[in-house]
Amino acid sequence: MEIQRYKTYDEISKASAQVGAEIVNNKPNAVLGLATGSTPLGLYKEMARMHKEDGLDFSHVKTFNLDEYVGLSPDHPQSYHYFMHENLFKHINIEPQNVHVPSGTTKNYQAFCKWYEERIEECGGIDLQVLGIGSDGHIAFNEPGSSLGSRTRIKTLSKQTIDDNARFFEKTEDVPIYAITMGVGTVMEARNLILLAEGESKAPAIADAIESPVSSMCTASILQLHPFSTFFLDEKAAGNLKMTEYYKWIQAKKPGAPSSC
Catalytic residues: 67, 136, 138, 143
CB 85 within 8 A of CB 92: no
Q: Which is nearer to ligand F6R, 56 or 182 (CB)?
A: 182
CB 48 within 8 A of CB 92: yes
| Positions 12 through 41 that interact with ligand F6R (CB under 6 A) | 35-39
* Shortest Å distance, C-beta 249 to ligand F6R: 28
| Positions 63 through 102 that interact with ligand F6R (CB under 6 A) | 66-67
- C-alpha 201/C-alpha 198 separation (Å) is 8
Q: Are strands 153-156 and 229-234 parallel, antiparallel or unpaired?
A: unpaired
Residues in CB range of 93: below 8 A, 6 or more apart: 51, 57, 58, 59
Q: Which is nearer to ligand F6R, 38 or 215 (CB)?
A: 38
Q: What is the side-by-side strand order in the sheet with 67-69?
A: 67-69, 178-181, 153-156
* Shortest Å distance, C-beta 120 to ligand F6R: 16
CB 222 within 8 A of CB 188: yes
Q: Which is nearer to ligand F6R, 106 or 246 (CB)?
A: 106
How far is CA 225 from each of CA 28, 126, 133, 219, rounded to the nearest angstrom?
A: 28, 17, 17, 11
- Say whether residue 229 binds ligand F6R (CB under 6 A): no
Per-residue contact string for residues 126-155; x = within reach of ligand F6R by CB under 6 A = ------xxx---xxxx--------------
Q: Which residue is nearest to ligand F6R (CB)?
A: 132
Applying CB under 6 A, what is the total number of residues that bind ligand F6R? 14
| Contact set with ligand F6R (CB under 6 A) | 35-39, 66-67, 132-134, 138-141
